[in-house]
Chain A
Amino acid sequence: MRRRPGLTSTIALVAAMSIAGCRVNRPAADHSKQQILYRATGSDPRTFNPILITDATSGTLTGELLESLIRVNPVTLLPEAGLAEKWEIAPDNKTITFHLRHDAKWFDGQPVTSHDVLFTMNVIYDPKVPNSIRPSVLVDHKPIVSETPDDYTIVMHLPKPFAPLLYSIGIPVIPAHILEPVWKAGNFNRSWGIDTPPGKLVGNGPFRMTRYVQSQVVQYERNNDYWMKDEQRGQLPRLHGQAYSVVQDQNAAYLRYLSGQIDVYGPRAEEVLDLRQKAERKELDIAVQEIGVDTGTMFFTFNRNPRHYVKNGVTNPKLNWFTDLKFVTAMAHLVDKKSIISLVYHGLAVPAVADISPENKIFHNPELKDYDYDPKLAADLLEAAGYHLSKPGVRTDPKGNRLEFDLTTNTGVPERDQMCAIFKQDLEKLGIKINYRPLEFTTLVDKIDSSFDWDCLLMGFTGTIEPNDGSNFYRSSGNLHLWNPNQPTPATVWEAEIDTLLDQGASEMDTAKRPPYYWKIQQILHDQLPIIETVRQKRFASWKNSLENYQPKVWGLYKPEWIQFKPD
């Protein structure tokens, strides 16, 4: 019998494995003593090349090792010094002079100079380098002409005044002495990929990358030559290292936080209560804090694209409904934000009124009045506009067409499913038939982008501080002007007005004088209802109490270089 010893030895092996499993000799188990911050990230980086990045994770991970020309303060939301110590705007509003700090060095000891900045700009403008930064540093579709009078000064000449530049110029500067030869050889698009050994990533930021293991971990150690000092001239950053574990599944990330394997965590609504209880009962020594609401926007929108609805001279009646202000106003009164907040978000959300989030303290318009949830008023509005109940439960337009349309969103987000279900229910009570058709994201994008084959959509966008970043959405010629994209000339007076306001807002260089233009845009979107706002989720952060100076804001960490673990 030869088989039996085989079996026994396998069982013995399994047993040995379980015993071996308990004996891992850790030289220093407590990472807080080592001043190493452990965090989780939801996905792998796609590239370490800051110019080629199109995803958030790669941005966060490379952000640790690269400093930008200027930064945006997540509390004041104003640009502040980074590699550029200061900058001046000439009286003609078309020339900006940046003065670089003299003590910034690359990891290999080379100084960071204006040549690096110029090189970075050249790469961004290179048509052979497809990147998402270029559109934000084009002014009037033209590149900015830069000159470098000396090693620490860079002068940018704009074709016309363009205020958003102060936000978009916060691009990470890359080392010319390393990457210029690569770029000249035509290999830039393949440089600094995720297969590049971390030691070859030469940055100038607070941390150096020491190790990356795909879908497991990205590790950093402190850059002891980093220029930033604290009030007592102490070296920053205070942490000696960082480690980001790649944890795709959010439940798994939560368990890791509960077990203490990671130090900071952004809990979901349903986890907030649980964490608060654990903190109160002293099961965990953690802080749980509300840090604000979503910076983005989530809305219902109706398709107003004649290219989709007018075929062979025949107009689909849906186009008439969706461009009828009375119809969409009735729809706005049917979004039951209260129910959405309590049923979908466990009470941890707020009604959204303006398109720009209140977190955008500079540009948010606080004066708009929300459309109350009022099915009775909605019914009256529809009746008054000629959309009558032809028989119980069936509403028809003035020409006798039954009110019926598709409602679409992307699959995989349970919250959106529930919101659509609530909206559908309210509409059907008024005799409007809704065909709910959730679609795979790529399929949905195809419809939004190419075939325009949709009726009503629940959609969300993330927000940025600079409203001009949303030009593709606001502008009538924009490809993300969802309800009627790529218009050769504005289809309506108010869309034309938004186009003008965008131009005016962008050319006003004084930040204090810019908000009125964007307030007006929010007002128009609110009145004309091309988009019907829903809610904004509240955002939370939780972290171990042993951390000091950990100050998460919805726009990012405030003074991250000051973070440290409390000494015992």
Chain B
Amino acid sequence: MTQFLLRRLLNMIPLILGITFISFLAMSLVPGDFLSNLKMNPTITPEVIKQLQAQFGLDQPLIVRYAKWLWGVLHLNFGISLSYRVSVTSLIESRAFNTIILSASSMLFSWAIAIPIGIIVAVNQNSIWDRVLSFLAFFGMSVPSFFLAFLMMYFALKTGWFPIGGTFSVDYATLDPMSKIADRINHLILPVFVLGISGTAGLMRLMRSQILEIKNSEFVRTARAKGLSERVVIYKHVLRNALNPFITMAGYSLGDLLGGAALVEAVMNLQGLGLLLLDAVRSLDIYLVMGSVLMGTVLLLVGNLLADIALVAVDPRVDFSSVAAE
């Protein structure tokens, strides 16, 4: 176990180095740089641009900049955002909380809906419920989430039940503590719905096919032959085995927690990391992008590791030697 963990952790180092270097390279290969926008401003002279380039270190060769960045990261200094001129850490910190709350709630939302529906649909295979719910699932999968976000905003405008975007109301500071929580939740409902619904469909289909597959496997037949009730067969034997891929997925989603929903964030004006990153990529704010890439990579790798550990714990057929060999 310890050996497995150690090996996995050591494996991460070259991976992180490789991913960050390729991202750095990709950002640098894009023509122009962060200052390109300023260059088209008639009141800004080339001298000012040159000074800013020197101040931001953009005039140095790629490898020097990467080495400097890496050196900083080793000292937990993730650099300064070029556009906001404050540390990347503080920018990410200020938004991470909102994004995590949002992603975690939408994940919970989609799991809470998808798993029971998946079970119902699978157990009643080919019934009218199966067809209707499967149709809805495909529909949910195919509607782009930013479009759904617009629809929801329009819904909010027409009904007045929900605020139109934002993380909290402008007068948030004047509210009493309970109202503050209510205000936050009120702002969360629509985005959680939008983000959750797109995940729901896939999860539900996955649950359905898992159960269908396992329902017809040998050990289930054995369980039935033993005379166990259908209820026990489904919930104790089938369901438990059907959940394996979900554990792996939960691990992967750790990386998604901070990435995911830039378009929805943009439309619904949520103060999240996705939007921050999208803007950073667009404006070639290289250190901010690198900070996010690094964080996303680490979370994804750690998430995978946790998922593997969980898988071993849940499924007796998997052990560390087989996971480690992968």
Contact = CB atoms under 8 A, between A and B. Distances in A.
A18 interface: yes
Interface residues of B, number: 75
B170 A24 contact: no
A258 B51 contact: no
Contact of A469 (B36, B43, B186): B43
Contact of B188 (A10, A17, A25, A446): A17
Interface stretch (A229-237, A244-252, A318-326, A500-508): A244-252
Contacts of A46: 83-85
Nearest to B91: A214
A464 B44 CA distance: 13
A219 B45 contact: no
A190 B170 CA distance: 28
Given A20-B185, A54-B38, A473-B42, A214 B271 contact: yes
Interface stretch (A76-84, A131-139, A300-308, A488-496): A131-139
Interface in A256-291: 256, 258-259, 261
A464 B47 CA distance: 21
B55 A443 contact: no
Contact of B48 (A44, A130, A441, A473): A130
Interface string B189-232: 10000000000000000000000000000000000000000000
10 contacts: A25-B179, A189-B55, A214-B271, A215-B275, A243-B170, A245-B170, A252-B267, A255-B164, A440-B30, A473-B42
B136 interface: no
B42 A471 contact: yes
A27 B174 contact: yes
Contacts of B44: 54, 132, 135
Given A20-B181, A441-B37, A258 B48 contact: no
Contacts of A443: 30-32
Interface in B2-33: 30-33
A440 B271 CA distance: 26
Nearest to A439: B31
Given A246-B269, A472-B45, A130 B55 contact: yes
B36 A442 contact: yes
Interface stretch (B62-70, B155-163, B306-314): B155-163
B69 to A, nearest CB: 19
Contacts of B235: 1
B94 interface: yes
B266 A248 contact: yes
A169 interface: no
A140 interface: no
A464 B267 CA distance: 32
B210 to A, nearest CB: 15
B307 to A, nearest CB: 18
Nearest to A25: B179
Interface of B: 30-33, 36-48, 51-52, 55, 83-87, 90-91, 94-95, 108-109, 111-112, 115-116, 150, 153-154, 156-157, 160-171, 173-176, 178-179, 181-183, 185-186, 188-189, 235, 239, 266-269, 271, 275-276, 284
Interface of A: 1, 3, 7, 10-11, 13-14, 17-18, 20-28, 31, 38, 44, 46-47, 52, 54, 127, 130-132, 134-136, 189-190, 193-195, 211, 213-217, 219, 243, 245-249, 251-252, 255-256, 258-259, 261, 440-443, 445-449, 461, 464, 469-473, 479-480
A259 B32 contact: no
Given A21-B189, A215-B271, A255 B157 contact: yes
A78 to B, nearest CB: 20
Given A131-B48, A217-B170, A246-B269, A255 B154 contact: yes
A26 B175 contact: yes
Nearest to B33: A442
Contacts of A134: 48
A216 B42 CA distance: 31
B134 to A, nearest CB: 21
Contacts of B150: 251
Contact of B269 (A130, A252, A445, A448): A252
Contacts of B95: 214-215
Instruction: Specify which of A131, A135, A252 lies most central, judged by the most chain B CB atoms within 10 Å of its CB.
Output: A252
A17 B185 contact: yes
B51 A21 contact: no
B185 A21 contact: yes
A442 B48 contact: no
A256 B269 CA distance: 11
A23 B182 contact: yes
Contacts of B94: 214
B115 A7 contact: yes
B173 A211 contact: yes
A21 B162 CA distance: 8
Given A22-B161, A219-B170, A135 B43 contact: yes
